[in-house]
Structure 1
Amino acid sequence: MNTAKLITCSEKSHYPFKRYPSESCDTVLFPGCAFPSQFPRTMDALAELCRTHGIGIAYDCCGHPLDGFGVQGGTDRVLSGIARRLKKRGCTRVVAVCPNCLNLLQERLGIPTISVFELFEELGVRPKGTFEPGVLFTPCPDLRHHEMRDALRRSCDLSAVDDLKKVGCCGLLPKLAAQGPDVVRRHTQRVFDAADGRRIYTYCASCLGQFARLGNSNCQHAVSVFLGVEEAPDAKRAFWNRAKRKFDANVNPYPAMKA
């Protein structure tokens, strides 16, 4: 295992930046690790919205990369810990922001899990921002069922945004990353080529971080647009952005909103 993989597996195996509500919460938002890393201001806006509606925030990593890197039993151990902490707080439903988290938690957490766009629908929240002409890149975890993509299209007007078709992974799948940076760059470049200079929207923070690292600033997270937050992927400060969530005090629902 090379150094980068070793560091990644170490962090994801025993995520050091956990932060859970100290109070009982029926519904908990699970942002994952990539979204707070790349979009700290959008994360703050989303947390405020959730807390106003009686929803707590749990900062943790789902352990998904451990499966891809072949760490036997690693993801199951991580999920077991997450389930235990959530149930201790009375959580009966999870809201996932990341498509990787959504798939994994739905299949293996044992607590009902919906996407953030389904939450917006449920709450009747309308988008504050406008999706200008561009393309929508569907990340790998959503390619089969399009669950998040369809919920996004139901919750806001994407009439000016075309689905980016016949394009595969952004390059960050572990099996691709294991083949080296040149292979990763080729896959990312295919997305850029297919977009042909148009703005790229997606709802995977990891993908957007990759786009930013390879020099494409014409990309936005769908949640940022929805919440009216102008924010580019903050790839350079990703580590520090997620590290500071360990000390985030704004994880409990507002008292007046609790059931």
Structure 2
Amino acid sequence: MNYLKHVEESCIDCGLCTKNCIFLEKYKINLKDFTKREDLAFSCFECNKCQNVCPKNLNGAFVSNALRKKNPKYKFVKLTKEHYPYRNLPYKKKRSEDILFLGCNFPAFYPKTSKKLIELFKEKGFDFSIDCCGKPVPSTGFKPSISKNLSEEIKSKKIQRIVTACPNCYHFLMNKYDAKIISIFQWLEEYDYIVNINEPINIFFPCSDRYNREIFEVIKRHAPNYNDKFTSTNCCGAGGLASKCESELANDMTSSIKDDEIYTYCATCSMRFSKYNKVHHLASVFLGIDEEVDNNFFKNAIKGKFLS
């Protein structure tokens, strides 16, 4: 069944989605109303909070995605994310059972931590990749495609596991390639590289892992005294490309947490919240580096392109 029709027929007008989403609240609509608002297709942050509270398990991100397919936008995003211009140059075609997949934002915002991870992988005889997983493409409404670069790498290097530094990469790449997807935290744990955090910390959960917490299952073993105190903030403000249409809402989400100390495991969340807070990326902290967000994105991205 068409998902828009499914929402129209399943919604019971309870209003829980509206109460829990500043986008729906702003326009005084629920998910059923949203199915008829093609003009708001790119206003949804795709944070999945509506599905989490919906008694019928309806998902606004799916509604948004269906509406966006009718009139795709941001072709430049599609082109640059499918053919990431700062992808590191081709590596030697040597066997690498594990490959470190740094994604695009992590190495650009955390260059020192990325360099350390690359060194650890090299010590074990493994290669690395700086590239975009392609997750932003579905948010444009255009049809996503499988990365030929990654597919060829998996085949030529006989890669068994793709180790992701980004939660978005982890969830987006899952079941798309002939290699197992694991998080960097699982890999660091396997090789006993994690420095435990014993003091209480406040964690902001990135949208892609907030409700299933697959990645966090490993993290919590090494940061057991965590607090989940940021539940009223649905998104860092970067989700679903919505900040392009809803810049005010995006800033409201980002600024909803101010003057606090945040631990997270998403580089994009780190970048957004660093405007108002002291932010720690858990991968960096676990390595004993605790690097601050470096906002020289293009400078770092260009440097990353020539790492070998």
TM normalised by structure 2 equals: 0.70
1:21 matched residue in structure 2: 91
Q: 1:227 aligns with which of 267, 287, 303?
A: 287
Encode CA deviations 1:11-43: one digit per residue, 9 max, x unaligned: 212112223531221110101001001000011
Q: Percent identity?
A: 29
> In structure 1, what residue type is equivalent to 2:239?
L
Pair member with larger Rg: 2
> 42-51 vs 15-24, which deviates more?
15-24
Q: 1:183 aligns with which of 241, 249, 261?
A: 249
SS of the aligned residue for 2:236 comes to coil
Q: Deviation at 1:80?
A: 3.8
Distance 1:57 1:186, change over 3 A: same
> In structure 1, what residue type is equivalent to 2:303?
K
Q: Deviation at 1:6?
A: 5.1
> In structure 2, what residue type is equivalent to 1:55?
F
Encode CA deviations 1:78-120: one digit per residue, 9 max, x unaligned: x343122222121111101100000011132332110111112
**2:79 equivalent to 1:10:** yes
1:137 matched residue in structure 2: 204
Partners of 1:38 and 1:133 in 2: how far apart?
25
Distance 1:238 1:60, change over 3 A: same
Distance 1:90 1:54, change over 3 A: same
Partners of 2:145 and 2:177 in 1: how far apart?
9
1:108 matched residue in structure 2: 176
Q: Deviation at 1:247?
A: 1.0
Q: Deviation at 1:131?
A: 6.2
Please provide the CA RMSD for this pair.
2.2
* Contact 1:133 1:199 (C-alpha < 8 Å) held by counterparts: no
Encode CA deviations 1:187-218: one digit per residue, 9 max, x unaligned: 2123x15xxx3310000001111112xx2241
Q: Deviation at 1:173?
A: 1.2
Number of aligned residues:
234
SS of the aligned residue for 1:18 comes to coil
Distance 1:45 1:134, change over 3 A: same
2:276 matched residue in structure 1: 216
Q: Whose RCO is larger (CA < 8 A, sep 6+)?
A: 1
Structure 2 residues not aligned, in runs of 5+: 1-41, 43-72
Q: Deviation at 1:56?
A: 1.2
**2:68 equivalent to 1:68:** no
TM normalised by structure 1 equals: 0.82
Q: Deviation at 1:175?
A: 5.1
1:119 matched residue in structure 2: 187
SS of the aligned residue for 1:138 comes to coil
* Contact 1:21 1:89 (C-alpha < 8 Å) held by counterparts: no
Q: Deviation at 1:132?
A: 4.8
**2:239 equivalent to 1:173:** yes
> In structure 2, what residue type is equivalent to 1:171?
G
